[in-house]
A and B are shown apart, each in its own frame.
Chain A
Amino acid sequence: MSMQVKERSMPNGVILELTGDLTYANREQFKTAVESVRQRGFRHLVLDMSNVRFIDSSGLGLLALVAQQFKLTQGRLSLLKPQAYVREIMALANIPSLIPMYENEQDAAAAHAKAA
């Protein structure tokens, strides 16, 4: 299963809407999309996970990597509305302790504004 990435803007950041699977097979596509956001200097990246059906171990690694990259430049990665199954896999790897999750983008934007 492939992945589509759609970008839209939000206050002080960018939202990438991911559709499909966040897996080994789609990692280059994901990295390219994130890299483009980083290069334009955005400090807050929100990944809209509501249309991600599956995440594998490589996908978890990519999320951790992106979180580290944003942290290095005083930026922030947030996740939006992961589906129950994806949420479960992320919980097993303790991702919630690493990357904040929100149910709507207002909360994500507000938390970032507060942190900044």
Chain B
Amino acid sequence: MKSSHPQVDTTGKSEAVKVRADTESPTVLIVDDDPVARLAMVGRIKRLGYRVLQAGDGKTGLELLRRERPELTILDWMMPDLDGPSFCEQVRDDPEVGSSQILMMTSNDHPEHIAEGLARGADDFLSKAASRQEIIARVQAGIRTALLIRQLERVTDELRSKQALLDEELQSAARYVESLLPMPGIVLPGVELAHLYRPSLALGGDLYNVVRCGDDAVGLYLLDASGHGVSSALRSAALATFLREDSLLRYVGSRDPGAIVTEANRLFPLTERGDYFTILVARLDLRFQRVLYATAGHSGACIHRRGGTMEWFAPPSLPLGFAPGQLYRTVEIGFLPGDRLYVMSDGLYEVPNSTGELWGKERLGFALKEAAGRPLQDALSHAVAEAARWSGQNCFPDDVAVMGIELKA
């Protein structure tokens, strides 16, 4: 080991070998069974300033190549036992040394002969009758290529290990986001919650939650950050923190959905990149059998009535941050035993098929109606499966989040 230069090594190649290329003169391995020719070549290459290794047969040469990883190997074609082309084949078959540069020497420079050597793994040829200048030029060209390949391999290794680190970070963040999601099941006696989340990347920008407030009310929200990935997820987590019960009481001083969304609009302006949220905040009031809600640019919510009709929440409203000082109003809608409330991100219904046509709310509503007699969680799974079938793909282009709340009849 020559260097203490820290390097991440994911391929198992020894660190010393990789660092040496930067710090020492390149190494040339000469493999030739003819001692006179070999010594002559050794002398020439040494005079060029390179470190030289030599072997008198193919087998020893291969061992040296695997151990020392020379930048360039000058190889005689004709050798007993392991000849030049077979040597090349063995090198190319070995992933550890497969990118080694090999310059093959031959006294036969027929085009078919050269083609065969190249096909079997040599990088270049050197005629035994080559001039001194030609030998120097070909050796230098070989070394140049070897150094470039080494550099490329090193950078690729670094990128891979950095990517692996990033992937792990993303997975860990995704687990955290999932831990923020509510527990499905009975939220209050007679009120059942189900939900389904399919982020488009490891980390999604959609978040939702359902919180019991006392004995006869449930608060809920679904937010959708524009964009994808890490920055969206971070912004979502910040907004989710604001939407926690204790924070709402402190900053808004009210559980009124309109007041909450109005304050969120003040606190979360457009980012300098034009990123923003759409959100729906609702309060399920069991005593008066109603849902109070306010939305900022979020139109993905509907009530599937016990009688079979589908009512969409659709007042157009500005997303958060579009208009500072905007007042968001609370809207009231009846919610009776046997009704199901669905709140979803637009990623569920704005799914394109192969021709670009979007699935749309109408088809989504139809899918939810189809599953009317089935348990709530099955209804969500059915809708998501139908959306996936429409897209013809297994993954969605945007985050998909949907939750359902049923008031038991």
Spell out A's residues near B (CB within 8 Å).
24, 27, 31, 57-58, 60-62, 64-65, 68, 91-95, 97-98
| Interface-side segment among B26-34, B84-92, B313-321, B377-385 | B313-321
A65 vs B323: C-alpha distance in the bound complex, in angstroms? 10
Q: Are A94 and B227 in contact (CB under 8 A)?
A: no
- The answer to whether B299 has its CB under 8 Å from any CB of chain A is yes
Q: Which residues of chain A have C-beta atoms less than 8 A from B318's C-beta?
A: 64, 93-94, 97-98
- B window 218-259: CB within 8 A of A: 226-227
- The answer to whether B208 has its CB under 8 Å from any CB of chain A is no
Q: Are B227 and A58 in contact (CB under 8 A)?
A: yes
Partner of B274, one of A58, A93, A95, A97: A58
Q: Are B323 and A98 in contact (CB under 8 A)?
A: yes
Q: Are A65 and B226 in contact (CB under 8 A)?
A: no
Given contacts A58-B274, A98-B322, 14 further A-B contacts (CB under 8 A): A27-B273, A57-B226, A57-B227, A57-B278, A60-B226, A61-B226, A64-B319, A64-B323, A68-B324, A92-B297, A93-B297, A93-B316, A93-B322, A94-B317
Partner of B270, one of A24, A64, A91: A64
- The answer to whether B275 has its CB under 8 Å from any CB of chain A is yes
Q: Give the distance to chain B from A71, nearest Cβ to Cβ, in Å.
A: 10
Q: Are A61 and B323 in contact (CB under 8 A)?
A: no
Q: Work out how many contacts link A and B, with CB atoms closer than 8 A.
A: 57
Q: Are A92 and B299 in contact (CB under 8 A)?
A: yes
- The answer to whether B276 has its CB under 8 Å from any CB of chain A is yes
Q: Rank and list the top 7 A-B pairs by shortest CB-CB distance, nearest first.
A: A61-B274, A65-B274, A64-B322, A62-B274, A94-B316, A57-B226, A94-B318
A46 vs B276: C-alpha distance in the bound complex, in angstroms? 23
Q: Give the distance to chain B from A64, nearest Cβ to Cβ, in Å.
A: 4
Partner of A24, one of B227, B272, B276, B323: B227
A–B complex contacts, Cβ < 8 Å, 30 sampled: A27-B273, A31-B274, A57-B227, A58-B226, A58-B275, A61-B274, A61-B276, A61-B319, A62-B274, A64-B270, A64-B274, A64-B318, A64-B322, A65-B270, A65-B272, A65-B273, A92-B297, A92-B299, A93-B278, A93-B316, A93-B319, A93-B322, A94-B316, A94-B317, A94-B322, A95-B322, A97-B323, A98-B318, A98-B322, A98-B323
Q: Which residues of chain B have C-beta atoms less than 8 A from A62's C-beta?
A: 274
| Range of interface residues on B (Cβ < 8 Å) | 20 to 34
Q: Are B274 and A94 in contact (CB under 8 A)?
A: no
Q: Which residues of chain B have C-beta atoms less than 8 A from A97's C-beta?
A: 318, 323
Q: Which residues of chain A have C-beta atoms less than 8 A from B322's C-beta?
A: 64, 93-95, 98
Q: Give the distance to chain B from A62, nearest Cβ to Cβ, in Å.
A: 4
A97 vs B321: C-alpha distance in the bound complex, in angstroms? 14
Spell out B's residues near A (CB within 8 Å).
226-227, 270, 272-276, 278, 297, 299, 316-319, 321-324, 346
The answer to whether A60 and B227 touch (CB under 8 A), given A65-B270, A65-B274, is no
Q: Which residues of chain A have C-beta atoms less than 8 A from B227's C-beta?
A: 24, 57-58
Q: Which residue of A lies closest to B316 (CB)?
A: A94
Q: Which residues of chain B have C-beta atoms less than 8 A from A92's C-beta?
A: 297, 299, 316
Q: Give the distance to chain A from B170, nearest Cβ to Cβ, in Å.
A: 19
Q: Which residues of chain A have C-beta atoms less than 8 A from B272's C-beta?
A: 65
Q: Which residue of A lies closest to B346 (CB)?
A: A57
Q: Which residue of B lies closest to A90 (CB)?
A: B316
Q: Which residue of A lies closest to B356 (CB)?
A: A54
Most chain-A Cβ atoms within 10 A of its Cβ — which of B270, B316, B322, B346? B322
A15 vs B151: C-alpha distance in the bound complex, in angstroms? 49
Q: Which residues of chain B have C-beta atoms less than 8 A from A61's C-beta?
A: 226, 270, 273-276, 319
Most chain-B Cβ atoms within 10 A of its Cβ — which of A58, A61, A91, A95? A61
A92 vs B300: C-alpha distance in the bound complex, in angstroms? 11
Q: Give the distance to chain B from A56, nearest Cβ to Cβ, in Å.
A: 9
Q: Give the distance to chain B from A4, nearest Cβ to Cβ, in Å.
A: 20
Q: Give the distance to chain A from B331, nearest Cβ to Cβ, in Å.
A: 14
A32 vs B277: C-alpha distance in the bound complex, in angstroms? 23
A98 vs B210: C-alpha distance in the bound complex, in angstroms? 32
The answer to whether A94 and B297 touch (CB under 8 A), given A64-B321, A65-B274, is yes
